Amino acid sequence: MNRSGVALTLGFAAAALAATKDEPPPPVTEMASKPILVVLDFESAFDKGEVGRFVAGNFRSKITRYKLFQTVEDVDREDYERQAKFTPRFDMAAKEALAFGTKWLQADLVMWGKVEPAGGEQLRITTKVADREAGPDKLKYEGAIVVPNKYALQVGVFKQLGEMTGRQDPRYAPLPPDADERFAKAPNLIKGEGFETGKDKPDGWEPFGVDWQMKEVHWEKSPDEAGKCIVMRMSEGVAAMEGDYYFSEFFDIEPGATYRIRFRVKTMAPTCKIFVKYYAWLHTPSEPEGQWREVGRTQINCRTERGKWVAEQRECHPQIYLTRAQRVYVPKKCRIGLYAYWPAGVVYWDDVVFKKIADAPKDLKPIDVGEIGRRPFEREE
């Protein structure tokens, strides 16, 4: 079987088509010159493979987005696994992994691994990579990393890719050593503090009643602490449809800078998320005067414990975005969205703070958010 028999990302199908027409092949692109790395599904026996599949998919998407290797589309890999009657196992020898990868997918490297509990909410990702060039007796990479919870799995994926390739996280500059000190001193970019001030609504947040769902969102005294908070009393109908949300007002941001959001949340049942949305002023034929349009976001899946306040913080990185259509978007505004959905019930939010902790790098470049041939991966923080 030759490479044109497999739908590899970028290049091979076009080269095969050109060859059948007796035309010179297209020039070798940067991606076409890179080795092919096949990522097999990881094991995760504790949840019937769900987290293992997520981690493997995360490796595939980041390998593609950041052009680290060529890879194989999932549908082709799965099809050839069925044809070969091959099921990846963490304890298989490198020889077995390479035999499948090279024979059926023309792979240069094969990755496999497992995810397992590591105490409390912690999870351990163990990853192996075999290299055809190095042979079946020696792994190119073998490493394990413990992440604090399932929401940090992608952090572990990035660190292992960095160990494999010698590259750091390709998206963001490292945090400054005084990040905590900067956070303590910086002003909150959301007007108001802790939902304590305001008249008909808390300072820095939208008016109530702007949408039919808003009758379920309230600003009132905290049930078990001094001061006020935001309360979502979500009905089953809303929970099963769009859920409840509440947004801050727009505030200015600097693309490429690093920000930290800190918040507290208590849920009695519903699932909770925070969306940090980044906006650019865009003009369209139907809106020639322009308006603020969302061009990027950070999504936070909140770590919660039913009936208890949980405090969290995350870093946020608005960037200059380069789209698949080669359009560049430069976000200048931001707003925070508090969001809850199924199952129905009550959620309390308090002490939402958003502060700048690092300036943008001087050599800031757009990040590619749309890779040809694949849909961009929606990253869960």
Token readout for 267 is 């849920």
Q: Give the Cα separation of 353 and 364 in Å (integer).
A: 26
Contact 71, 39 (CB under 8 A): yes
Q: Give the Cα separation of 33 and 19 in Å (integer).
A: 18
Q: How confident is the model at residue 59 (pLDDT cuts 50, 70, 90)?
A: very high
Contact 263, 276 (CB under 8 A): no
pLDDT of the residue at 90: 96
Instruction: Using alpha carbons, list the distances in angstroms from residue 257 to 71, 105, 112, 190.
Output: 32, 41, 35, 16
Contact 334, 251 (CB under 8 A): yes
User: What percentage of the chain carries pLDDT values higher than 70?
Assistant: 86
Instruction: Give the domain ranges of the chain.
Output: 3-165, 179-368
Instruction: Using alpha carbons, list the distances in angstroms from residue 19 to 12, 25, 79, 196, 331.
Output: 11, 6, 26, 69, 44
Residue 123 three-state SS: strand
Q: What is the pLDDT of residues 127-172, one digit of tens each?
A: 999 999 989 888 999 999 998 888 788 888 988 998 888 765 556 6
Contact 128, 141 (CB under 8 A): yes
Whether the per-residue pLDDT at 25 is higher than 60: the answer is no
Q: How confident is the model at residue 74 (pLDDT cuts 50, 70, 90)?
A: confident
Whether the per-residue pLDDT at 337 is higher than 60: the answer is yes
Token readout for 103 is 């024979």
pLDDT of the residue at 172: 67
**What is the pTM for the complete model shown?**
0.62
pLDDT of the residue at 77: 92
Contact 131, 116 (CB under 8 A): no
**Residue 339 phi/psi, 5° resolution?**
-140, 140
CATH superfamily of 3-165: TolB, N-terminal domain (3.40.50.10070)
Token readout for 326 is 């080669």
Q: Give the Cα separation of 18 and 45 in Å (integer).
A: 45
Residue 305 DSSP label: B
Closest CA to 303 of 265, 337, 342: 265
HSE, side-chain direction, 13 A CA sphere, residue 300: 24
Q: What is the pLDDT of residues 188-243, one digit of tens each?
A: 999 988 899 999 999 999 998 877 778 899 999 999 899 999 999 999 999 988 89
**DSSP assignments along 38-85, one per residue:** EEPPPB-GGGTTHHHHHHHHHHHHHHHHTTSSB-B-HHHHHHHHHHHT
Closest CA to 354 of 270, 258, 286: 258
pLDDT of the residue at 169: 57
Q: Give the Cα separation of 23 and 37 in Å (integer).
A: 29
- Class of CATH domain 179-368: mainly beta
Closest CA to 205 of 214, 192, 186, 222: 192
Cα Rg, the chain, nearest whole Å: 24
Identical fold at 3-165 and 179-368?
A: no
**Residue 92 phi/psi, 5° resolution?**
-70, 155
